[in-house]
Structures are given as structure tokens and as C-alpha cells.
Amino acid sequence: MTKRIQRWHLLELDHSRRGYILDGGSTVMEPCLVEPRWSRHEGVAVRGRAFATDSLLEGAALAARFREAIDAGGDSLEAATSVAATLEGFYAAVIDIDEETILVADGARSIPLYYASAGVVSDRGRIVRDAIDTDRDPVAESEFLLTRYVAGPETIWRGVLAIQPGEVVRLADGEIDRLTYRGYWPRGAAVDGEPPRRRLESALETALDRLERVAGGRPIVLPLSGGYDSRLLASALVARGRDVVAFTFGRSGHPDVEVSREVASRLGVRWEFLPYDESSWWEWYHGEVGRDYREQAFGGDALPFLAEVPALHRLLEAGRLPEDALYCPGHTVATPSERLPRFAAGAGEERLETGCGRFDTDSEVVDPSLEGLLGYVLDYHYTLWDADPALKRDAFASRISRILLGDRDITEIDGPASAAAAYERWEWRGRMATFTNGDLRAYDHAGLEWWLPLWDPAYVRAWERVPLEYRREKRLHAELAVERYRQVADVSSERAGLIDRTVSAADRHCALLRHTPVRQFTERDGQWDPPFLAPRNRWSKPGSHPLAWDGAVHPALRERLAEGRTFYALRVLSETGRLDLSDSHATLESPRFDRLLDVSADD
């Protein structure tokens, strides 16, 4: 076994190899935690905060909970798991004891940790990769190229693993042991006859109480979009009298921007907007800050979230956003529910418009079985590049099925309710905990503190108990958002329900004059026509995206792109070294998955 030492400081042998040293010719490993907010106490490093009953724990107090449990004796993995099961918040822990290292993730895996069986541990996947000097895993890399994330504990680097949500991992003697203390499997079961709406409202109040305790007297900053999630937070916090600052970004006229503008205006909250254009994306993406962010944020299991990063940095630099604030993205446990397919036994269910970036799930009816779910996931998620359907199924079927089922038997998926639960579980572990919650790395990179109120365990538990007909299209969550906004903003139900997918071009055209007229001569340089009114069916065309982020691609390369090829598709090529977005002479070819997948899914 690799020799261990009990030191926590960051060692740097050269620019790329961090987290290990050479001692007399042998490798000496230590947990290498780069992010500066880690706090150390008697061999335990922690980040974040967690509630234990009514106590808010952080720093030494949080670390001591784990230390005391380990010192009490018994199995170290079970001891750490028993503590984690009592905590509710957003945190991670690394416990270094004797010849063992134990890693702990919260239920959202808000803070990723990476490790290898040799005992290498870091909050940066690249450091683990360098330490074990590994090559790429063809199956995991192919999954990343097709989806922009790796669903499961693997990364694109062979032997480099990522902790999963609600999981505790022990590394000892080259072996890996895991326990999951908090899962996700929506049942929709009634609790003492309490209506689901009342239960969800109560859970929201618990989540907001916790948010306020974490924020203290600081302002709360929300990235405000045109959907329901951030609107729910903004409305509820305004109703509580909190100091709220909202910000958004993109092209003036974009549905997200104009609905956000209206919501902020009607709620009376300060709203900061950063316009995006192609030239600013080129400058930022290929500049030092953009390169540094992508280097830090990519752990090998998810493409770094990008949309708000330039806005965060530029608004902070201009003093338009407070640094001493708590930043609260609207990511929510309800999101997987909006991508539920229509199941064969529920084909007549009402279709709603509640989210952004959703799939057209009306296109087919899915059999509520493991096989039906497997086909749905492959058809709607593994699509950034073209791949032979049989090849995809052979390579990824067992990986997808493993996450859909968890420790359940295949016979437990026996109808729409259980099939929906399995799909939402897949999204929770496969997509939300990697790609979506990876958005938090943007706040880390900017040196900001954050919290996820709509992933609060109280809200998660309540959502798990919402019946399927009210989870579909995150219906009950959306209804709660509309009602809170209607009450606080004093608008009609129709206006309160307006979102980015339903706002008209006329509304978008007039929003600036209605809600922020003074900006007419600064935001659009006095132009009366907004620069962006393109319908959604044109957003995939080069130069037509509402975030303008394809401006990061060299114009000569962009001209050669096939219509419909997304910026995400190009970025996964760039992240794996297959394409230089700044190279005017770069050639663009679809990845050859028959070459990448040189092992079967059973190997």
C-alpha cells in the first residue's frame, strides 16, 4: 500500500502534478484539497455547512461531528455514514485516519470529490489523474461526448472516480467501500392525509428558514431566469422582507432576459443585466479567466457550466453585484420531473409548459419498464453526436440500468409510478449531481458563497411524496411559484404564469420600455428594435443563439458547421482535445464511437 502522511497543505512538484510527493523514490500520497474554503480539524477537512436538528454546523464544529464518531470506535465507514445521515445541508468531508481515508458527499453532491483506489484524493479530478498517471476510459469518454457528463462514479480517465450524491466512500489497502445513506426514489405516498400542496409549502418554508440562517444579514443574490424556479425563490424572499439582488445575462430581447426583467420589476428587486455578444464571448472564453475557469471546473465527469460565468465576473468587477452575499441558484429537485416521458398507461395526461430546455416528450409513448426507460434515456440524452443505436445500447445499457434501478430488482419497475421514480433517480444521480449542480463551480471560481434552497433535503423529501400527476412537468412546484409571485407582485394569474416559453414577441419587444425604460439609451445604445427576437427553431443556427456563446468558435470554423450542431457538442470535443475552437483551419469530424468503444459494456 502507498505510504500515507497526515498533512493537508498543497504540495506542488510542478505546474500540473499536485497532491503527491516523492520520498526516497516511493510515492507518498495525501488528500490534496485545492479550494481555499476547506477547514481542517484533527485530521478532518470539511467544506460547506449543514444543519443537525436546529444547529448550524460549519468549520471545526462540523469536522468534530465526524471526528467524534470515528473516535468512538466501531466500523469507520458506518460511523461516518451515521453522522452524514443526520446532517442536512451542502457540504463535503474528507476524514484522514491511520491507513484509511473516508469521503462524504451531501445529497446533492454539491461539492465534488475525486479519488483512486491507490488512496489519492482531491477536489480536482485532474490532480488524481496526474497522480496515478492514467489514460482515458473509452466507454466513459464516449458517454461524455454524447451527453456532456458521465452518469455514475466513473470519469473520462480510467481509475479516477467521483463521489456520488448521498454517498460515503472509504479507501483502505487499495480497496474501495461505499455506502449510500440518502437516495432518491419518488413514491407519491400520502402522509397522514396531508395535501401535497400543503406539504410542499411547509417544506419550502423550512428551506427558506435555513437559507436565511445561512445568509444572516447578507443580501441574497439570485440568477433570475424566465422560468419558475428562481421566480419562486425571489417571490418568497421578497415576501419575507429580504434584501434580494437579481441578475441575468444574454441578448436583450431573449425570452429569459425579458421575463426576468419583468419579474424583477414587479417584485421591486434590484436587477442587474449583462448583455452578451459574440465578440465578448471570444474575448472571455479564450482569455486567461475563461481558460482558468475551465481548467479548474472540469473534473472529468461533467462539462463545466458556462452560461453565467462571464456575467458573474464582469458584474462583480464593475461593483454591480455584492461580493459579501449568499448566491442561490434556482436548481431544484423538481427539474427531473419536467423531463418525464409519457408512459403507455398515462398517454392522456395533460401537457403543461413549465420549463426551459426540455425535450419534446410528446413525440412518443414510452413503455413503463426498464427496457422502455433505457430506450428513452438513450434517445433523448445521448444525442450530442450521431452514433449507431445498437452501438450505444451495447455500450451504455448496463450503465444506465445500474442507475435507474439502484439496489432494486427489475421487477419493481411495473407501471408509470415506479418507471417515473426510476427515471427521476437516473436524472438525480446521472445528470443533476454532475452537470447541473456543477454550476456551483462558477461561484467557487469567483470566490463567492452559495446555497441551494430548492435542493434542501426538506424540499427533496416533500417532492418525493408528490403524486406523479402533480410531479409531471413539475406541476405542483410551478403552481406554487405562480401563486407566490401572483400574491407578492399583485398581478393576474395569467401574467403570473408567463414564462420564457410562453412570452410573446410583442412582450419581448416592449419589455425594456415597460420595466426599465431608462436603460433604453445604455443597454441598446438607443436602438428601438431589440437585437434578438429569433424564434426557438432558429437558435441552433450559427450566430443565432440567445446567449451568443457560439462567438467563442472561430468564424471560419463556424461557417463549416452543420446546422443543428450545438455549442455543447463542440465543447465536449474541445475538452477532450479533439477540436481547438480558436483554430480557423480546424477540421470538424463526428467522433468515431466504433473506435472509441473498443471494450464492451460488460468488460
DSSP, residue by residue, 556-580: HHHHTSPTT--HHHHHHHHHTTS--
What is the average pLDDT across 549-555?
A: 93
DSSP letters along 223-243, please? E--SSSHHHHHHHHHHHTT--
Alpha-carbon 4 to chain mean position: 33
Q: What is the pLDDT of residues 195-253, one digit of tens each?
A: 899 999 999 999 999 999 999 999 999 999 999 999 999 999 999 999 999 999 999 99
Are 282 and 552 spatial neighbours (Cβ–Cβ below 8 Å)? yes
Q: Once rounded to an integer, what is the mean pLDDT over residues 139-158?
A: 96
Task: With a cut of 70, say whether residue 348 has pLDDT above it.
Answer: no
Which residues lie closer than 8 Å to 332 by C-beta, 6 or more apart?
229, 454, 455, 459, 474, 477
Encode pLDDT of 197-213 as tens digits.
999 999 999 999 999 99
Structural domain spans, the chain: 3-136+149-180, 196-333+448-516+537-553, 554-597
How many whole angstroms separate alpha carbon 202 and alpha carbon 478? 16
What pLDDT, on a 0 to 100 scale, did the predictor assign at position 355? 44
Residue 354 has pLDDT above 60, yes or no: no
Maximum CA pair distance of the chain? 74
Q: Give the C-alpha separation, 353 to 281, whole Å.
A: 31
pTM: 0.92
* pLDDT classification of 98: cutoffs 50, 70, 90: confident
**Average of per-residue pLDDT values in the chain:** 89
Find all residues with CB under 8 Å of 455, minimum gap 6, and list them: 90, 107, 108, 110, 331, 332, 333, 437
Tell me what pLDDT residue 29 has. Answer: 57
Q: Does pLDDT of 346 surpass 80? A: no
Q: What is the pLDDT of residue 150?
A: 97
Mind listing the pLDDT tens digit for each residue in 432-464?
Answer: 999 999 999 999 999 999 999 999 999 999 999
Of the chain, the percentage scoring pLDDT greater than 90 comes to 77
Among 316, 358, 320, 319, which residue's Cα sits nearest to residue 341?
358
CB 247 within 8 A of CB 309: no
Residue 296 class from Cβ within 10 Å (0-12 exposed, 13-18 middle, 19+ buried)? middle
What is the CATH number assigned to the segment(s) 3-136+149-180? 3.60.20
Average pLDDT over residues 320-339: 97
Residue for grid cell 445604455: 522
pLDDT of residue 538: 85
Check pLDDT > 90 for residue 109: yes
**Quick one: pLDDT at residue 564?**
62
* Band of pLDDT at residue 190, cut at 50, 70 and 90: low
What is the second-level CATH architecture of the domain 196-333+448-516+537-553?
Answer: 3-Layer(aba) Sandwich (3.40)
Question: In angstroms, how far is the first alpha carbon of the chain from the final one?
Answer: 26
Q: Are 132 and 39 in contact (CB under 8 A)?
A: no
Query: Which contacts of 571-579 are long-range, i.e. CB under 8 A and separated by 24 or more positions?
Result: 571/148, 571/303, 571/306, 572/144, 572/145, 572/148, 572/303, 572/384, 573/145, 575/144, 575/294, 575/298, 575/303, 575/304, 576/136, 576/141, 576/144, 576/145, 576/156
Q: Which residues contact 584 (CB under 8 A, 6 or more apart)?
A: 554, 555, 556, 557
pLDDT of residue 527: 75
What's the pLDDT band for 359 if we cut at 50, 70, 90? very low
